[in-house]
Structure formats: structure tokens, C-alpha cells
Amino acid sequence: MNLLQTYEANGVSRPVYEFGESVLNELRERFADIDRMAELNQGKVIHAMQEARVDAACFAATTGYGYDDVGRDRLEQVYASVFGTEAALVRPQITCGTHALTVALSANLLPGDELLSPVGLPYDTLQEVIGIRPSPCSLAEYGVRYRQVDLLPDGGFDYPAIREAINEKTKLITIQRSKGYATRPSFSVAQIGELIAFCKGVKPDVRVMVDNCYGEFVEELEPSQVGADMCVGSLIKNPGGGLAPIGGYIVGTKDCVERCAYRLSAPGLGQEVGANLGILPSFYQGLFLAPTVVAGALKGAIFAACLYERLGFRVVPGGAEERHDIIQAVELGSEAGMRAFCKGIQAAAPVDSYVEPIPWAMPGYDDEVIMAAGAFVQGSSIELSADGPIRPPYAVYFQGGLTWYHAKLGILRSLQAMVDAELVRL
């Protein structure tokens, strides 16, 4: 069987396959750069595991309180080393990225303090956490004020307005690395470093948290290595490598992470409690695989960008742009386009391939959301997935793929569905 036949057997027609190959022909150098980055980050992860003396004892299950859990403690050491921080909190008891961010925020903000976002509106689910949209138990309910400085029209930082917004109450600054469900650019680690330096120049004792979701292992450095006091993310995104079935992480200064541990468990208990219930092999092995998994996802994102750009759709980032996260937005211009795109992604999945995604109300989101995901881990977005809120510009956010070949198939099937629905002509 040749490759075309394989793709035909998987629902991709010859014209769609050939269109894809013509796009891919121009991407060889970009893909080689991505492989180099994966190699570099693979070395970093292996070095961290060796330094922490990871051994078979680290994979044993603990129960109950989980006192003296060697595997848990060494995994946190490994994360601290990979992210270049003093401390790390990496737990299955952190249920998702939003939870990790909530812990980091609420542990480091007290009544009367102010939180500042100098990069515009935060990710949808955080709006209720902060109280931008009212919610029981939001930070606002506990007397934490929120201030926001929007990005400039070109996506840059509005430094004069940021200087103005930082005041004696400003305790924590939150920077979201990835665009989330917005069509602004994602930030490079270097840009984040500049912004942090500026903020700390205005107020030296201000703390900075970076929402690192989808950014891990895309670049050589992480935001924690350019001045962030905390970096926060989800284990069912990049750093879990597709194997972690749950979890979140917070890496940063000893002081900040300790407070997070007290918030997550209880004052006085902190990091000492939290049984691993046998989940640690997937955390270790997932982190081990994460650099190559992220590389596959990046190739998929670039392929999707170049393919849809050539068909005349606006894509963010553009096909030729540098990558700072694994998210690819494709503005499809209509609900029908979003449905067709997601139908194709779903049809390419190893799990739940027979279902058709439809828009639905989701907890934490204001608009209806459509989601295509046929994942081994429910909702895992390091696995091939596409989703987006049903609102103009009708952008689908495409991400993941545990292997590049699966990402490629998904993108070709999305195009096939668009062609079949007569939304594009090749």
C-alpha cells in the first residue's frame, strides 16, 4: 500500500492529499528546526531526571496522607530543574489548568490586593475565577481587585498604560503566554521577559505569574527563566505528553510555591500531603515524551496554518511566523465552516471517530463552544483537538496531536470536510 492509498482508506481524496503534499514540500526546513528544538528539550528533561536520581521507587503508589512520597517529591524536583525554578508543585490533586491558576492566584493575593493583567482579557475560564464575570468564590468576592491594560492594536504591550496601572496595591501581575480563544498573537518568552523586567522596574516587589498553558517546550527557555515568579499549566496539555490523565503544575520561587501548596491542601500541611495513588509513572513518562509530542503538535499547527492560508483564510499565527505555543487559529468566517472543520478532525480520531461535534454550552464559557476531540484522555488538548466559541470571527483553535502523522491526517480530513460541504474549492 502506498501513502495515498492509506490516506484514501482514511477518508482523504486524492486532490486533498496532493494539495497537502504541495504545502508540505515547502516546510522541510521549518520541520528540521522543530526537531532541533525537541532534541534540545529532550536533553534538558533527561538531565533533570538523572540529576534527581529518578529510579523505580519513584513509580510506586502511595495512599492515605502520602507522607514521604519519594516519587512525588522527586517529580517536583525534576519539574523545578526543567523550568529553572527553586520549587515546584505537581499534583494529580490539581484537577486542570484553571484549577492550577486558581490556586496560584488565590494563594498569592489577599483581600485589598490588586491583580493586574497587562495583556488584555484573560482566558475565558479565568474570568469567573477573577470575578470579571461574577461567580461565587471569585477573587472579587474575597476583596481582590482586578485591573487590566489592553494590548495595543498591533498586539504589542501598552507600556505607558501599564506604568500608570501599577500602584501600591498591585501585588500580582498575570501574563498569559498563549492567545487562548482570542486572535491576538501569543508572546515569545523573550517578549514576556521584557514585560516582566518593565513591571519590576516600576515596582520591584511585584510578583509575576505566567499562564504557561500550551507554551511548554516550544522554545528553549520557559518564562520562569526570564523573571516570572510562577509559571502555571495543565498536565493534560504539553508537559503531560499525552500520558498524564489529570493534573496541573506550578513552578516558581520557594515562597510562592509554598503558599500555593498551603492553599491547595491546608495551612500547615502544604506539600507534605497528597498521595499519588499510583499515577506517577504517567507523569514521569509523559514529561519524558513531552518534547517530541510538542514537536509533532507544532508541525501540525504549521501545516494547518500554511494549508488554510493558501486557501485564503486568515490564520493566527501566519504560516511563516515563529511559534510561541501549539495553538493555531483558523478564521473560518461562519458557523458552518467551524462545524465542517471540527467534523473532519473528529473523523480522524482513534477514539469516538463516529460522532459529529455540535456547538454546546460549556461551564466556564460565555458563548456556545464546539469541540472536536477523540482523545484517550477526556478533554486532553495535547491530543489532536479543535474547538472554539461560536462567535465572530468564527475561529477554530486547533491544537495537539500525539504524533505528527495523526495531526496531518486530522488536517487533511478537516479540509476534506470543507471541500465536501462546498465551503472551499481546491
Ligand X SMILES: *Cc1c(COP(=O)(O)O)cnc(C)c1O
Helix 28-51 × helix 280-310 angle, to 10°: 170
Nearest-CB residue for ligand X: 97
CA distance between the termini of the chain: 25
Q: Does 399 bind ligand X (CB under 6 A)?
A: no
Q: Which of 106, 178, 191, 271 binds ligand X (CB under 6 A)?
A: 178
DSSP string, 46-67: HHHHHHTT--GGGG----TT-T
Are 397 and 411 within 8 A, CB to CB? no
Q: How far is the CB of 96 from ligand X (least distance, A)?
A: 4
Angstrom distance (rounded) from CA 230 to CA 419: 45
Q: Which of 211, 216, 229, 387 binds ligand X (CB under 6 A)?
A: 211
Q: Which of 71, 118, 180, 357 binds ligand X (CB under 6 A)?
A: 180
Closest CB to ligand X among residues 44, 324: 324
Closest CB to ligand X among residues 62, 234: 234
Q: Which of 176, 224, 265, 271 binds ligand X (CB under 6 A)?
A: 176
| Contacting ligand X within 133-162 (CB under 6 A) | none
Q: Which of 20, 71, 97, 270 binds ligand X (CB under 6 A)?
A: 97
SS3 of residue 268 by DSSP: coil
Q: Does 93 bind ligand X (CB under 6 A)?
A: no
Angstrom distance (rounded) from CA 265 to CA 396: 37
Closest CB to ligand X among residues 101, 304: 101
Q: Does 125 bind ligand X (CB under 6 A)?
A: yes
SS3 of residue 196 by DSSP: helix
Q: How far is the CB of 252 from ligand X (least distance, A)?
A: 17
Region from 43-51, 154-162, 175-183, 414-422 binding ligand X, contact rule CB under 6 A: 175-183
Q: How far is the CB of 108 from ligand X (least distance, A)?
A: 17
| Contacting ligand X within 229-268 (CB under 6 A) | 234
Region from 4-12, 95-103, 152-160, 292-300 binding ligand X, contact rule CB under 6 A: 95-103
Region from 19-27, 94-102, 164-172, 290-298 binding ligand X, contact rule CB under 6 A: 94-102
Q: What is the DSSP letter of 223?
A: G
Q: Which stretches does DSSP call E strand in 376-426? A: 385-389, 395-399
Region from 40-48, 96-104, 256-264, 336-344 binding ligand X, contact rule CB under 6 A: 96-104
Q: Binders of ligand X: how many residues, by CB under 6 A?
A: 12
Q: How far is the CB of 23 from ligand X (least distance, A)?
A: 26
Looking at 108-253, list the stretches that DSSP marks H as alpha helix, in order from N- to C-terminal side.
Answer: 124-130, 159-165, 189-202
Q: Does 123 bind ligand X (CB under 6 A)?
A: yes
Q: What is the DSSP letter of 300?
A: H
DSSP string, 52-111: TT--GGGG----TT-TT-HHHHHHHHHHHHHHT-SEEEEETTS-SHHHHHHHHHHHS--T
> Exposure of 25 by Cβ count < 10 A (0-12 exposed, 13-18 middle, 19+ buried)?
exposed
Angstrom distance (rounded) from CA 231 to CA 253: 10
Q: Which residues bind ligand X (CB under 6 A)?
A: 96-98, 123, 125, 176, 178, 180, 211, 213-214, 234
